[in-house]
């Protein structure tokens, strides 16, 4: 029998980064066979997966309410996607947590294994394919949860990577956590059973857990506790409607026998020696003394994607699933992170025909005057004749007659050319010879020769200055007089002789210009202005 694969080998075998001739030797997980029951076979003889077989596989039966108009319409446009969680005969729609963003990033360990494999096989892979490979399994990426600073923080359990919105959810997870025994010692003791006349025993119709007789004093608290632990997302009224009663002497005696034993708890690692008799006392002690040891209040935390789903608050799980599904459908969004991680692994990234690739080395064209050994010279000469070919065709062209498989020497020569970037071997066994870009040289345009006499004449003649046609600005008083003249008679009357003052000042200005004419202005223009006034 073959030995089981360790986690590293199992991760590398799932990446499919090796050559095609070596992929068949890697053990693959067996294909998941479809489970078809005899009752699920239809009358036409074809198997059907929509009957009782769906219940066997954990699927909830289809409800008739799905065909209603509200369900067909779907969520409003622009809202975050919601998730449906089925419980027995009903569906609970959970909305994502508001104010919480999830960023999907690849794991550095998974990318380290990919970079190691790329260097080992000396092949070139597209970054899109690498990102798609990383998003194919949850062990290869993680989510970064970021909550708004204005809202309450998230509660992160660093022992098991659990994440909760409230302290109450974190305390409920305390009862299901494996590290609970490290904090509290649990002991089962015998007590006297309850006394009374009990004829009916109530059971949970969803989980089958015995709740006790309805006339028992702790009946209501037991119902609340089971609802809070097992079905927190279901309304309490709907859960109470699922409770069934059983009227039999055997059921009552079984409940009485179970009530004769009781659990009690004692803190571990503390000086306290008192036993806590009920769960409420344990929860109160955990909140006041041990909560900061197990949970951290933070607004930003990194959670592995392979964390069990019951370690999340349901709204946070919806946020995580929506972000992971979007990244799996669009792997290109994690390519910038992949580039930065590959740079830390010293794996070169280059662009070819508009796409990003990662390989053992960047493309380095071979100079024409480079001399190689015999076997390597045959490989280079064949690639210069066919710059793009398949690996099988290359071996067929360079190997001696009668040989079909290359020897270790041929493989070593090819590996050296691939590691130096002189040849590029892609994932589909395509070999490409990098070539230098051809630079087109254009002849310079002939300069016009000017005679010495003409050049001297051009140097002597000054260039004429361009005159700027600036419009002459009208005097301010003329503008004011025109505006006053355009006013209606009633408004002009309210000026109380202001128009006369303006005319008088303009008349004085015209007389001053006649006595001392300004530069560039003739006396005729001044006289014309005075007559107009």
SS3 percent helix, strand, coil of the chain, rounded to 5, is: 45, 15, 40
Residue 311 neighbours by CB under 8 Å, 6+ apart: 157, 160, 161, 162, 163, 173
pLDDT band of 471, cuts 50, 70, 90? low
* Nearest by Cα to 189 from 276, 284, 280: 276
pLDDT of amino acid 35: 40
Q: Would the CA dihedral through 449, 455, 458, 459 be positive or negative?
A: positive
Does the structure show a pLDDT above 50 at 532? no
For residue range 443-462, list pLDDT tens digits in order. 565 555 555 555 555 555 56
The answer to whether residues 427 and 124 touch, using CB atoms and an 8 Å cutoff, is: yes
pLDDT band of 190, cuts 50, 70, 90? confident
Question: Encoding tokens for residue 246?
Answer: 């059983």
Higher pLDDT, 369 or 39: 369
Most confident of 200-204, 325-329, 368-372, 396-400: 325-329
Does the structure show a pLDDT above 50 at 474? yes
Cut 0.75: pTM above it = no
Does the structure show a pLDDT above 70 at 376? yes
Does the structure show a pLDDT above 50 at 89? no
pLDDT band of 10, cuts 50, 70, 90? low
Q: Residue 430: helix, strand or coil by DSSP? A: strand
335-342: long-range contacts, CB 8 A cutoff, minimum separation 24: 335/127, 335/128, 335/131, 337/105, 337/106, 338/106, 338/111, 338/127, 338/130, 338/131, 338/134, 339/127, 341/106, 341/108, 341/111, 342/111, 342/115
DSSP track, 228-265: HHH-TTS-HHHHHTTEEEE--HHHHHHHHHHTTEEEEE
Does the structure show a pLDDT above 80 at 427? yes
Lowest mean pLDDT among 131-140, 294-303, 406-415, 474-483: 474-483
Distance CA(135)–CA(5), nearest Å, equals 22
Does the structure show a pLDDT above 60 at 55? no
Residues written for the chain? 533
Distance CA(31)–CA(248), nearest Å, equals 48
Phi, psi dihedral angles at 309 (to 5 degrees): -70, -25
Does the structure show a pLDDT above 50 at 52? no
């Amino acid at each position: 029998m073959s030995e089981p694969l360790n986690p590293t080998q199992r991760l590398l075998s799932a990446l499919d980064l090796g050559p095609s001739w070596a992929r068949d030797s890697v053990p693959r997980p067996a294909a998941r066979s479809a489970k078809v029951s005899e009752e699920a076979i239809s009358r036409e003889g074809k198997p059907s997966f929509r009957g009782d077989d769906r219940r066997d596989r954990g699927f909830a039966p289809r409800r008739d309410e799905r065909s209603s108009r509200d369900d067909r319409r779907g969520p409003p446009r622009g809202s975050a996607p919601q998730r449906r969680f089925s419980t027995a005969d009903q569906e609970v729609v959970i909305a994502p947590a508001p104010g919480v963003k999830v960023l999907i990033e690849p794991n550095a360990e998974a990318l380290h294994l990919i970079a190691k494999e790329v260097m080992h096989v000396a092949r070139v892979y597209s970054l899109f394919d690498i990102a798609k490979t990383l998003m194919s399994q949850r062990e290869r990426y993680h989510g970064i949860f970021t909550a708004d600073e204005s809202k309450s923080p998230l509660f992160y359990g660093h022992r098991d990577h659990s994440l909760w919105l409230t302290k109450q959810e974190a305390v409920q997870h305390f009862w299901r956590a494996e590290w609970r025994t490290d904090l509290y010692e649990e002991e089962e003791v015998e007590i006297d059973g309850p006394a009374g006349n009990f004829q009916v025993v109530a059971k949970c119709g969803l989980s089958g857990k015995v709740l006790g007789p309805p006339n028992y004093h702790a009946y209501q608290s037991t119902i609340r506790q089971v609802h809070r632990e097992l079905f927190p997302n279901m309304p309490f009224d709907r859960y109470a409607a699922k409770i069934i009663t059983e009227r039999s002497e055997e059921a009552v005696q079984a409940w009485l026998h179970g009530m004769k034993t009781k659990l009690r708890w004692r803190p571990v690692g503390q000086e306290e020696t008192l036993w806590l008799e009920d769960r409420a006392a344990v929860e109160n002690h955990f909140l006041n003394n041990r909560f900061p040891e197990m949970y951290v209040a933070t607004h930003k935390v990194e959670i592995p994607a392979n964390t069990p789903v019951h370690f999340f608050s349901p709204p946070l799980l919806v946020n995580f699933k929506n972000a992971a599904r979007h990244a799996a459908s669009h792997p290109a969004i994690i390519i910038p992170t992949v580039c930065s991680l590959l740079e830390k692994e010293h794996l070169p990234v280059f662009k070819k025909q508009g796409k990003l690739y990662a390989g053992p080395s960047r493309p380095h064209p071979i100079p024409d005057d480079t001399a190689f050994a015999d076997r390597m010279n045959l490989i280079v000469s064949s690639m210069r004749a066919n710059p793009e070919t398949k690996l099988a065709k290359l071996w067929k062209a360079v190997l001696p007659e009668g040989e079909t498989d290359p020897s270790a020497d041929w493989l070593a020569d090819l590996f050296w050319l691939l590691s130096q970037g002189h040849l590029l071997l892609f994932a589909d066994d395509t070999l490409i010879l990098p070539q230098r870009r051809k630079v087109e040289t254009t002849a310079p345009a002939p300069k016009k020769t000017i005679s010495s006499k003409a050049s001297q004449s051009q140097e002597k003649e000054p260039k004429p200055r361009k005159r700027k046609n600036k419009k002459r600005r009208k005097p301010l008083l003329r503008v004011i007089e025109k505006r006053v003249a355009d006013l209606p008679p009633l408004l002009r009357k309210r000026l109380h002789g202001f128009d006369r003052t303006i005319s008088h000042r303009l008349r004085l200005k015209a007389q001053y210009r006649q006595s001392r004419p300004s530069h560039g202005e003739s006396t005729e223009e001044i006289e014309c202005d005075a007559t107009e006034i």
